[in-house]
Structure 1
Amino acid sequence: MGLFTQIVMFVLIISILVILHELGHFIPAKYFKTKVEKFYLFFDVKFSLLKKKIGETEYGIGWLPLGGYVKIAGMIDESMDTDQMKEEPKPWEFRSKPAWQRLIIMLGGVIVNFLLAWLIYTFLLFNNGDTYIPSDSLKYGIVVDSIGEKLGLRTGDKILKVDGKKATRFNDAILDIILGDDITVDREGQEITFPITDEGKKEVFQTQGRNFMAYRSKAVIALVADSSVAKKAGIMAGDEIISVDGKSVVFWDEFRNTIGNSANENLDISVRRDGRVENLNLTVPNEGAIGIQLDIQDLRKTDTYDFFGAIPAGFTRTIKVLTDQIRQFKVIFNSKTEAYKQVKGPIGIVEMMPKSWDWTFFWSFMAMFSVWLAFLNILPIPALDGGHVMFLLYEMISGRPPSEKVLEKGQIIGFVILMGLMVVIFGNDIWNIIKRFF
């Protein structure tokens, strides 16, 4: 059921986004009395799964789940219907409409995607608030693993700025560091600024950013497993570790490292319990784990919004998501980071879905992906909305449209580029699956 839920959630999200995006083209086209011949969810190459003609438009579902389209009469698009273009323009055709109307029709899908994301973020903030970890609540700084160290970070650092911008939220700082150029930290009372290395980013992307940085906590025990070495030694939930073999311990990472490096060794452990010190003794098992969990201090803060306050906050969130996605391109196209190897297609995205239904994730992912679709579609690549907009802007500025030959060749080149990218992305998904078996 887990995989089934993941697939259903992904298909539903994509279907809603595609339909709404195409409605963004369809509605202004109809408003400007432009004939829309087809409205399809997914592509109907050679045949369609379902179709029904209502009025002048054929509505249907294709079999190839790579998006969708509306076929507008008198327009060179992915259908490459050049025969229609050889005839004299009809009043209801796209090419007969004023440039400003054509521009609105082409921008409609992108605008709908942006407005949808804004609407979803507004209601999420109104309903759930905005939960985050304030950077100034990290009294003991951060704890990093070997990958975090390759980025230049050190355990105990306090994040002050990324690319000169004050780090106010720990959650945002993690992404900002991956996408940034330099970072400023407070290290043992000294303010230090250093570049974020491409080699470190490469390691982060190879592990998909898992756990390279967390906030540092005191060595307080939350849970002791039954029948564990810690239980037998007398360690109890609520104990604070203060020393191991006479060496002072303050933080959880210090205690964890000591235990992990002491397999099969006998250790004297001192804990603070109810204001008094207890001295205990245990032998660390071969696997270097003694059966305890950290008492993680909940540093999260939630800002709440009324409906009218959620509207501008939702807009701000949408702009930030868009900005972060634009910033990702700089990293993806940097060959040293090899971030392009982690770009996910449909197969990889399905694996990101939760295995049980989660409405908060559903709407959050839809909003994020809607912004992503808006950004991708507005890129000035022929065959995308942005390519059509580019040619329309040229026409509006120069006073004459590009020739049909130029439009046709541009459409073909853009289509080849997009198909090439899809092959690479699908191949990357498949290769990542294959690697798991070796």
Structure 2
Amino acid sequence: MEIIIKLSQFLLSLSLLIILHELGHFIPAKLFKTRVEKFYLFFDVKYSLLKKKIGETEYGIGWLPLGGYVKISGMIDESMDKEQMVLPAKSWEFRSKPAWQRLIIMLGGVTVNFILAFIIYIGMAFTYGDSYLANADLKDGLLIENEVMIAAGFKTGDKILSIDDEKIKKFNTDMIMKIMMSKKVLIERNGIQKEIKMPIDFVDQLSKTDKKKPVISIRVPSTVSEVDPNSINKELKPKDVFISLNGQESRYLYEVEAILEKNKNKSITVTLIRNGEEKQIPIIVSNEGKIGVQFEFYKNKKQEFNFSESIFAGLQKGKEQLVSYGNQLKMIFSPETKLYKQVGGFAAIYKIFPSVWNWETFWSNTALLSIMLGVMNLLPIPALDGGHVMFLLYEIISGKKPSDKFLENAQIIGFVLLIALLLFANGNDIYKAFK
């Protein structure tokens, strides 16, 4: 069932992005009276699952879920329809339209991707608000157990003040990503500020460590919030603050958990503070390493937005994600970062969706994927939108249109590059699965 839920989210998100991206090409093509022969979700190599012709356009669903396409008459694209190109140009063909119209048609897909991402972030801000931990509230700093973080110079108790000179106000998943992609982090340790320069291949080092140890986590004081009514340790009370267990320091939750794990089915002594007084109380640890209490965690702050506020918040979130992904892409193309090893294909995208249906997570992932799709399509690679845009800009600036033969060869080269990138990304997925 979990696989079905994950796969459903994956296919729904991918289908939505593909259809809207292709609509971004389709609509301006129609506005400029350019014939669109096909509009397909997924690729119809040899045959299609569904198809129906309406007017001059055949709409369908292919069997190969690697993307989608619109086939525009008189355009050198992945269809490589050379027979059409040797005939005299018709007024309704792409090649007959002014360069500025062709440029708008080619930019339509990525424009829709970026607009969609910003609309989703605006909608999420209005619907869900913003839930976060205030970084200033983390008085006891962070818990650092990851060996790569320790090697980089971090220690348990450190408080992060800024990342690449950006002051950190909120502790959330975005903060972890910022650390992973950063060049320097300013921390406070025992009241003294210190700058840590991050290793250039930090993400590659992380990939080789124990995945169970997070990059960072919060150091939570061991204060009891609730006692289970059925607990055998009825001497414990809410607001008790643990100091030690069996003589071992246990001021923080991670210390308590480690000691209890080692003392299953045993009777031990807890030293705690209650109402300002120190007390020692015998307790029994269950065979699961539990003592029948819940501990206090930091409470998330919730910021609500009205409609106008959500527009600003959504635009800001979209801008941050766009800049972040752009920086990641630059790092991927820098060999010294070794970030290219982490490039993933369809399996990596599939894994970002949870095994339970959650609309907030679904829309967040879809918005991010929309930004990724938009940025990737803008790369100046022939066969991608960015490649077509590159040649159109050359035509507009120089006044010279590249020959059909040149564009055909460029399309072939670009297609080969794309296949190579696709094989590399999905090959990485396979390698990681069997590593």
Q: TM-score under structure 2 normalisation? A: 0.90
The change in CA–CA distance for 1:410 and 1:247 in structure 2 (over 3 A counts) is same
**Residue aligning to 1:213:** 216
Please name the residue that 2:279 is paired with.
278
Question: Which residue matches 1:152?
Answer: 153
SS at match of 1:218: coil
Aligned residue for 2:320?
320
Give the aligned residue type for 1:139.
K
Structure 1 residue aligned with 2:192 = 190
CA distance in 1, matches of 2:362, 2:323: 21
- Which AA in structure 2 matches 1:113? N
Identity %: 45
The equivalent of 1:168 in structure 2 is 169
Alignment gaps of 5+ in structure 2: none
Q: Deviations over 1:291-317 (max 9, x none)?
A: 567624233222221112211221111
Structure 1 unaligned regions, length at least 5: none
Aligned-residue offset at 1:224:
6.9
Give the equivalent residue in structure 2 for 1:67.
67
Q: Which amino acid aligns with 2:223?
A: V
Say which is worse superposed, 300-309 or 238-247, in terms of deviation. Answer: 238-247
- Once the two structures are superposed, the pairs formed by residues 57-136 of structure 1 within 5 Å of their partners are 57-136=57-136
Q: Separation in 2 of the partners of 1:350 and 1:201?
A: 21
Shift of 1:344: 2.9
Which amino acid is the alignment partner of residue 111 of structure 1? T
Do the aligned residues in 1 keep the contact of 2:220 with 2:298 (CA within 8 Å)?
Answer: no
User: 1:20 Cα deviation (Å)?
Assistant: 0.7
CA distance in 2, matches of 1:293, 1:407: 70
* Deviation, structure 1 residue 341: 3.5
Deviations 1:129-148 (A, max 9, x none): 11222211211111111333
1:143-172 deviations in Å (ceiling 9; x for gaps): 111333133211111111111221122223
One-letter amino acid of the structure 2 residue matched with residue 13 of structure 1? S
2:328 is aligned with 1:332: no
Query: Which segment is superposed worse, 38-47 or 322-331?
Result: 322-331
CA contact (8 A) 1:151 1:201 kept: no
How far apart are the structure 2 equivalents of 1:114 and 1:164? 27
Q: CA deviation at 1:176?
A: 1.0
201, 204, 218: which one aligns with 1:202: 204
Classify 1:180/1:267 alpha carbon distance in 2 versus 1 (closer, same or farther; 3 Å). same
Distance 1:111 1:169, change over 3 A: same
Mapped partners of 2:333, 2:287: distance in 1:
44
- Aligned pairs for 1:36-435 (under 5 A) are 36-147=36-147, 148-171=149-172, 172-198=174-200, 200-206=202-208, 211-222=214-225, 231=232, 238-246=239-247, 249-257=250-258, 268-281=269-282, 289-291=289-291, 295-335=295-335, 338-435=338-435
Check conservation: 1:150, 1:197, Cα contact below 8 A.
no
3-state SS of 2:75 partner: coil
Deviations 1:104-138 (Å, cap 9, x if unpaired)?
Answer: 00000111111111111111111111122221121
Secondary structure of the residue aligned to 1:91 is coil
How many residue pairs match? The answer is: 432
* Conserved 8 A contact 2:249-2:255: no
How far residue 226 of structure 1 moved from its aligned partner, in angstroms, is 9.9
User: Partner of 1:68: helix, strand, or coil?
Assistant: strand
Deviation, 1:214, is 1.5
**Pairwise CA RMSD:** 2.8
Going from structure 1 to structure 2, the CA distance change for 1:421 and 1:34 (only over 3 Å counts) comes to: same
In the superposition, relative to structure 1, how do residues 100 and 161 fare at CA in structure 2: closer, same or farther (>3 Å)? Answer: same
Q: Tell me the SS of whatever aligns to 1:409.
A: helix
